[in-house]
Structure 1
Amino acid sequence: MTKQLFTVMAAGMALMAAAPAFAQQGGSAVTAATMQGPILSFSVSEEVRSRPDQATIGAGVTTTAPTAVEAMRQNAAAMDKLIAAAKARGIKAEDIQTSGINLSPQYDYSNQTPGQPPRFIGYQVSNTVRATTGKIADIGPLLDALVAAGGTNIEGPWFGMKDADAQLVDARGTAIKAAEAKAADYARLAGYRGAELVSISEGGFVGQQPPMPYGRIQSTAMEMKATPVEPGQVANTLTLNFQYRLVR
């Protein structure tokens, strides 16, 4: 029994000594295997830039009143006008979504007497909706219409693609060809005959342009000019993760 146990322990130690070694260089990893060729791991990224076909903007109203009930009532009436203005510009009801409602007390801390609490002013309500449209050319007039309807809080626009994945079809093929060439190059440099694909996994993101600040317009309707908005391009990035086995 003792001799058999010693033999098993010796075999286990031999396997541990032959455990895979790991080396990494330039963002690519090569794992040496004992029975098969080493595994090469790396990623390939491709970026596709295209003109956006949809945009999202945020619009809201902030109101202040002596009581919370009155502040909410005033805000609701103002938001009804804002939403109606969005629909009048062709925004569908299903493309308008409330993104936040906030009610909070307001205090005046100026000229505060030491030891005395700040002066209570009233309650402030902020309500914001986000609207999405495919009419890129109408973004400027839409923003102007929302401000004219009483909007005091404007965010965006955020540009994007309705079907971002469709923009990446060609990028996948390009990334796979680049991976094949890279794996073959590693195999040649390491003294191997070639490389066999073991696995592919996909990860990536769809980039968006940063939001554009927008201020309230004070000019009259006769003087008002549509707010210029340039959509530019949005970047869709695809990242594929590869594993190849180097073969003799």
Structure 2
Amino acid sequence: MPEVSIITPCYNSSPFLEETISSVMNQTFTDWEWIITDDQSTDNSVEIIQKHQDSRIKLIIAEKNGGAGHARNLSLEEANGRFITFLDADDFWEPNFIEEMVNFMKKENAEIAYSNYARCDENLIPKIEDFKADKEVTFNNLLKTCRLSLLSSMYDSKRVGKEFFPEGSKREDHVMWLNLLKKIPVGKPLPKTMAKYRMRENSISRKKQNIVKDQYLVYKDFMGFSTLKSLYYTTNWALNGFMKYSKIFN
């Protein structure tokens, strides 16, 4: 069994896929499996992945286009590693990402950990200040802002089990992390920049004004909060999101 399972959804990612693949193949830690689910891409993403003949890479072709959360769940079903980590098909890891994260989690006896990541343009050139892993993460403080980014986080499935993504939510990553943090007291920060996030202008997660309703439903539907409590946390999330990405604060 590999020690680490990497989970990747892929949909029409051909412009960035080679860089993402290289960032995984160049990892100093080699005991991993990489489970990529293609979500019915209409470009040549599948052909790019298939060019890389490595027994550690498993490609799944989704039967229908179901979104990133569904694609991640298909990969998670096949995952065998103790440590689960995520990398979207347009993001990038520094060569020491997995090694540093695994060592940190073992040293700190952590069940969830997250690191800094660089916030870049589509050419991986830094755009604003790096996102800092500077606080321990709990269920309560994660309600106000999602500090756990998929590309820079890892959890120990041996201790907390696999956590799947809710279907039909555009905020599926936030719901998944909240559900995990219901099980454990704290996630720990590793303050090193070991990943690069592409701040693509057409990204769903970048269009905060378009997903306020979806964020409200995180609290109302998935957490079961009252309307007033859901509005309170949605407001906090919106303010924190503005500060997270505004150049005024970065």
TM-score, normalized by length of structure 2?
0.20
The structure in which a higher percent of residues are helix is: 2
Which is greater in Rg?
A: 1
